[in-house]
Amino acid sequence: MRRRGVRRYIAARVTLVFVWLLDRLPLGAARWLALGVGRAAYLIIPRLRRTGFSNLDLVYGDGLSRPEKARRLKQCVDNICIVAAEFSRIKRLRGRFLDKYVTIRGADRLPRDRGAIIIGGHQANWEWLAPALANKGMKVAEVVRPLSDPVLNDYVDKTRRAGGIVTIPKEGAAHEVAQYLREGYHVGILVDQSPRENGVPLRFLDRECWGTIGPVVLSRMTGAPIFGVFMQRGEDGRYELEILPEIALAGGKLSETIVENCQRCQDVVASGVERNPGQWLWLHRRWKSQPRLEREWQKRQEKE
């Protein structure tokens, strides 16, 4: 543990220096430098390839050739590098800079007189989603998972909030999120990762996994509608951000509809991955087994 802590400390400081350098370069040069580092990491860190290929094999099987899977995985790594290069630009994401790099479609679907839940995935530059909407005149908050290193987490959180949003730590966030929804905020939640708690068995890209119950429970608590969001980057480096239609939820008791409604949310996010798979985070263990969640779900089923 002590050795791991030292490695994390060093990695965090190297990351801060690297981000500081990227912030001082023109955006094009920052992207180029980050891509170079990422492509080197792809070659020298076996875990990146192992996790990525495992996910791609699970989802596509023999329907996608090995070279095509490698191409898609390299696109994923490139996308992460571009997100890193652009992260510090969150504080500039307004006015002409915002209009130059982000086109927003479907914003009129969001209610102006009450709060809403916006769900998405780690697609394209997910870090620009919330500040792009905030700097178009909306009250926006987002649920975030704090980083383990306090100095790095402080930098990341300050940068996110510099984009005009409120950040809500993920652990125990339900009541705080509900309060912001009641105050008319649009709250963003990324739902495409395997949850550590409060999960239900679902399917993502037609493969079994666990998914969060958060958005559905919050919608039931507050009456806030749920909207999906899709983002993709074009070859010219510009983004298109689209607010999708409201997700229709099944009525009835929460305990009886929770799986169906959570599945509807996952399907919306998965459809975005299918539209542009090369810009999704294939390096996350989305379909890993969750023994604790399995035990909790089994007990819940037996009780009901």
Q: What is the reported pLDDT for 255?
A: 86
Q: What's residue 151's pLDDT?
A: 93
Using the predicted structure, report yes or no on whether residue 281 has a pLDDT greater than 70.
yes
Residue 194 has a pLDDT of: 95
The pair of three-digit structure tokens given for residue 175, joined into one six-digit string: 């009541």
Range in 54-63, 119-128, 166-175 with the lowest mean pLDDT: 166-175
Mean pLDDT of the chain: 95
Mean pLDDT of 164-174: 93
Please indicate, yes or no, if residue 283 is contained in any of the structural domains: yes
| Between residues 4 and 151, the one the model is more confident about | 151
Whole-number pLDDT of residue 7 = 81
Quick check: is 68 in a domain?
Answer: no
Per-residue pLDDT, 299: 87
pLDDT of residue 5: 75
Specify if 96 maps to a domain: yes
12 assigned to some structural domain: no
Measured over the CA atoms of residue 66, residue 68, residue 70 and residue 76, the dihedral's sign is negative
Contact partners, residue 173, CB within 8 Å, separation at least 6: 143
Per DSSP, 194 falls in state: -
- Amino acid making up residue 8: R
Mean pLDDT of the region 87-104: 96
Backbone angles phi, psi at 250, to 5 degrees: -70, 140
**What is the number of domains present in the chain?**
1
Report if residue 3 sits inside a domain.
Answer: no
Specify the pLDDT at position 272. 97
pLDDT at 1 over 70: no
Establish if 127 belongs to a structural domain.
yes
Q: List pLDDT tens digits, range 243-258.
A: 999 999 999 998 899 9
Domain that holds residue 281: 91-303
Contact in structure between 122 and 190 (CB atoms under 8 Å): yes
Least confident of 74-83, 199-208, 254-263, 294-303: 294-303
142 three-state secondary structure: strand
**Structure tokens that stand for 250 in this block:** 């099944």
pLDDT at 304 over 80: no
Residue 6's pLDDT band (cuts 50, 70, 90): confident
DSSP string, 86-100: HHGGGGG-SHHHHHH
| Cα separation, 88 vs 163, whole angstroms | 10
25 burial type by CB count under 10 A (0-12 exposed, 13-18 middle, 19+ buried): middle
Summarize the confidence of residues 74-93 as an average pLDDT: 96
Is residue 231 included in any domain, yes or no? yes
Angle made by CA atoms 107, 119, 89, in degrees to the nearest 5: 70
The mean pLDDT of 213-236, rounded to a whole number, is 97
Q: Are 219 and 234 in contact (CB under 8 A)?
A: no
| 62 located within any domain | no
